[in-house]
Structure 1
Amino acid sequence: MITIQSDLRQFRGTHYELGYRQGEELSDSPILKTRHKYWKLKRPRFNIDVQEAKSAFLQFAPKIWDEFEGISDGSKQPLENILRDFGGYRMEPERSGCSVFVQDEFLVRNYDFQPVTYDGRYMVYQPTDGGLAVIGPSSRVTGRMDGMNEYGLAIGYNFTHRKKTKDGFVCYMISRMILELCENVDQAVQLIKELPHRNAFSYILLDQTGEHYIIEASPRDVTVRQASECTNHFLTQEKENRHHIKESQTRLDKISELKSSMLSPEKAFETFNAKDKGIFSDNYKSWSGTIHTSLYQPRALKAWISLGGNQQPEVFDFQQWLKGNDFQQSTLTGKLETDIPIANME
């Protein structure tokens, strides 16, 4: 068992200023060293075309491109390296788990993956040059694993497969774009349909009206359905599924079995975070161990999170933060049943 730490980062300013600040932090952070070590061990299965990536971002989210330039300047790393390590366009994400349950009042999610890929950065950012304020854990620094914006739009995503890839954005960058650019689920669905997708993922959305959808998005199609639970396989685009989905189906069945007891956010969080309920996983070496449990309340604008299992959540009042009241703590801590460190650990 190891103790892990996630650093709480709060920032108000332009995207370039945020990028420059993050670039300076990365210069002294194990995160950058971890990414460079990774590429020495495993050759990227993609090529970075800076102009192609720039064109894609300028079409959909030009301010995020400013952030990349800020990271490059702040870290004194070539822009090509920043796009390779943190760009979210044409990247090749590894396989993972993840489970989501959504109701009118909340969305709860287990983020299941391999610890060495986990940033250990919880971001609260209010842009001053366009875009919506967002709270949630980062992925590859510029992306978001899950989160909620100032209008109460909440999102989580679940991996399906990475076969038959096409040029496009990956899950954590799509999540970031949705949160910064969309006010409700209908706008988010429209954006997901317009974006080019690198891989196949489900995106689970909830807004302040209580409207919630599961969007199955692949490089070939985007379909929308309504349900309250989602794991790691598609139900409408079944041809997109991997051959072996038994473990994913087992978790889906378990959520369905328990959902009648998860009608309050407190009970839902406890159930997802408990190690003996069949949803939380310690399978870290197989890229599917639960690193964090998160819950979002769009109407109350509150974000919950804990690292590891059997934990009490930290609850952040995003509404108060939007009024200018910064959070006092600077770190989150937890324990994982593994000896694999996360990316921000030496």
Structure 2
Amino acid sequence: MYHPRLYGEFYDMGLKYGKLLYEKADFVIPTISKQKMDFGLESYQDLKSFFPEVVEEIEGFAKGIKDKPEKLGAFLLSLGVFNTTGQCSVFAFKNDDSTVIGRNYDMLFDFKKFTESSLIAPKDKYAYISQSDVFIGRSDGINEKGLSVSMSFVNGTEVQTGISFHFIVRKVLEDCENTEQAIELIQKAKVSTANNFLIADHKGQIAVVESAPQKSIVRRPEKNEQFIFITNEFKTKEMQAYDRGGVEWSKSTERYKGLKDSLKSINKMDLQIAKEILSDKCVCLDLKKERFGTIWSVVANLNELKIERAENKPTIKNYKSETRLDWWLKKNAT
């Protein structure tokens, strides 16, 4: 897993990372089909309106790799649209005095070589730690305000040109300081695919946005429950018509039940318990035949901004502390 630190102006962040990957890894934009290119180019126009700052970063990155920003943007915005993507498990638990989150990212084992955990601190935006298997876009993260967001793929019935989850997650982390702001941002976005977004903040506000091109619904914890969780299905009646299903191979229902059973049995959550849940065979995927499973795992206490990450299949003992956000905030304290 790569560990870049990117901060400052958007264009400069992109230029720095693009040049690094070009010079050290001989990076070039992968070739994509005409269908994906056309889809991505149209979506790139939507991105310019939704998130103009990140378009500046794409332009800088493209300069660093000596290619065209439109081609790079099209590649990024077509990812995860026409192919099966991550099959993930996420939960949030609100204690009386803290909010704890846990997240497994499940993907093809071949993608391990592309994974990265980044400290990103754009000028005039919130700083955050986030994980992804693609540069620039994000799959999950925690920002300096104690806000967490994580996505999971849902096999939706429609796709449309628009904003992919990578950029929705990132904009939430940079612009939002609480769960309600994040919900509003996600529901206003012209999303390109179906996804669950689990959002949690340090004040104990936890929710899921079940999001599809046709519609979105906010799901809250059930009465008398301190937790909420997602795998790879829509759970509200209103959204099930937009869920094609077909995720039995990734044990989505079994993982959902495993999370529910574990979370219902707990009165107070801490990072150790969170690790145990994510490491359990009912939640952690390891599909050897499909070469697919958990390739990173994150737990965090949002009130203390204490973050730990396993950069492989998680076990109780292989998490390491993430200290870069704390370093950045102390470095820039006024």
TM-score range, shorter chain: 0.7 to 0.9
CA contact (8 A) 1:88 1:172 kept: no
Q: Deviations over 1:210-246 (max 9, x none)?
A: 1000110000001001131211100111112234354
How far is the alpha carbon of 1:183 from its aligned partner? 1.1
Q: Secondary structure at the match of 1:113?
A: strand
Task: Read off the aligned partner of 2:6 and give its amino acid letter.
Answer: F
- The residue number in structure 1 matching 2:220 is 226
User: Does 2:139 correspond to 1:182?
Assistant: no
Q: Summarize the Cα distance change of 1:52–1:86 in structure 2 as closer, same or farther, 3 Å threshold.
A: closer
CA contact (8 A) 1:95 1:161 kept: no
Higher RCO structure, 1 or 2 (CA under 8 Å, sep 6+) = 1
Q: Secondary structure at the match of 2:174?
A: helix
Moved more, 295-304 or 240-249: 240-249
- The residue number in structure 2 matching 1:335 is none
How far is the alpha carbon of 1:135 from its aligned partner? 0.6
Moved more, 184-193 or 57-66: 57-66
- The residue number in structure 2 matching 1:324 is 331
User: Does 2:149 correspond to 1:149?
Assistant: no
- The residue number in structure 1 matching 2:57 is 67
Structure 2: runs of 5 or more not aligned: 222-227
Moved more, 24-33 or 94-103: 24-33
How far is the alpha carbon of 1:134 from its aligned partner? 1.4
How far is the alpha carbon of 1:69 from its aligned partner? 0.5
Task: Read off the aligned partner of 1:123 and give its amino acid letter.
Answer: S
In structure 1, how many angstroms separate the alpha carbons of the residues matched to 2:36 and 2:247? 27
What's the TM-score, normalizing by structure 2?
0.85
Output aligned runs, 1:292-311, within 5 Å: 292-309=296-313, 310=315, 311=317
In structure 2, how many angstroms separate the alpha carbons of the residues matched to 1:170 and 1:83? 11
How far is the alpha carbon of 1:109 from its aligned partner? 0.6
User: Does 2:159 correspond to 1:165?
Assistant: yes
Aligned length: 312
Q: Summarize the Cα distance change of 1:55–1:84 in structure 2 as closer, same or farther, 3 Å threshold.
A: closer
In structure 2, how many angstroms separate the alpha carbons of the residues matched to 1:85 and 1:99? 26
In structure 2, how many angstroms separate the alpha carbons of the residues matched to 1:220 and 1:229? 22
In structure 2, how many angstroms separate the alpha carbons of the residues matched to 1:16 and 1:287? 37
Moved more, 93-102 or 24-33: 24-33
Q: Summarize the Cα distance change of 1:248–1:32 in structure 2 as closer, same or farther, 3 Å threshold.
A: same
How far is the alpha carbon of 1:62 from its aligned partner? 1.3
Structure 1: runs of 5 or more not aligned: 1-5, 326-346
User: Does 2:253 correspond to 1:249?
Assistant: yes
What's the TM-score, normalizing by structure 1?
0.82
In structure 2, how many angstroms separate the alpha carbons of the residues matched to 1:124 and 1:218? 29
- The residue number in structure 2 matching 1:28 is 23
Task: Read off the aligned partner of 1:270 and give its amino acid letter.
Answer: E
Task: Read off the aligned partner of 1:297 and give its amino acid letter.
Answer: N
Task: Read off the aligned partner of 1:214 and give its amino acid letter.
Answer: V
Moved more, 251-260 or 285-294: 285-294
Q: Summarize the Cα distance change of 1:284–1:68 in structure 2 as closer, same or farther, 3 Å threshold.
A: farther
Q: Which among 253, 269, 273 is matched to residue 275 of structure 2? A: 269
- The residue number in structure 2 matching 1:339 is none
How far is the alpha carbon of 1:103 from its aligned partner? 0.6
Task: Read off the aligned partner of 2:240 and give its amino acid letter.
Answer: E
In structure 2, how many angstroms separate the alpha carbons of the residues matched to 1:20 and 1:281? 36
Task: Read off the aligned partner of 1:127 and give its amino acid letter.
Answer: P
